[in-house]
Amino acid sequence: MAHPKKLNFEEILLENKTQIYRICKIYAKSPLEPKDLFQETVYELWKSFNSFQGKSDIKTWIYRITLNICIRSKEKSDRKNHLISSLDSIQITPADAPIDHEKQEKYDALLSCISKLEESNKQITILYLEKLPYKEIAKITGISENHVAVKMKRIRKILLECITKKLD
């Protein structure tokens, strides 16, 4: 692994910003929150960049920090007892953008079902959807590669049942 001093933070951020944002979007409660989570994650990555020792792949390190920021934010939000009304129902779509309602319905069903998973299963699912191999997911989550495979088999079944109910 290259030592972080030899790595360029801006290049690493450019290479990984899409994945970071997707994770933030999954954990977001409102349409505006993914940007806040993304900014907070980038800030934490920047703050911690010099302490990265290269013992794992830089992407593993980025996923860990991103998931930790999103989970911490979700926990803070849950503790606030929802005193502020949610803006979840507001969706901003450009008027000229064609909407594929069927595709959007499937996407919304998937997000809804993922949000109902236990936290550890949600993390594994998000990383799987990022197309990470089980070996990398195991490193990020701290469980064995075999355990990831077993959990993914169960998660797929849970998600299929959930999505089927939502789309019927």
Condensed to tens digits (0 to 9), the pLDDT of residues 7-16 reads 789 999 999 9
DSSP string, 59-111: HHHHHHHHHHHHHHHHHHHHHTTT-SPP-TT-----TTS---HHHHHHHHHHH
Measured between alpha carbons, how far is 113 from 48 in angstroms, rounded to an integer? Answer: 33
More confident of the two residues 81 and 136: 136
Query: CATH 1.10.10 in the chain, residues?
Result: 99-168
The fold adopted by the segment(s) 1-85 is Rna Polymerase Sigma Factor; Chain: A (1.10.1740)
Query: CATH 1.10.1740.10 in the chain, residues?
Result: 1-85
Query: Which of the following CATH numbers is that of domain 99-168: 1.10.10, 3.40.630, 1.10.530, 3.40.50?
Result: 1.10.10
Closest CA to 159 of 131, 118, 117: 117
**pLDDT tens-digit map of 34-66:** 899 999 999 999 999 988 888 889 999 999 999
Contacts of 46 (CB under 8 A, 6+ apart): 9
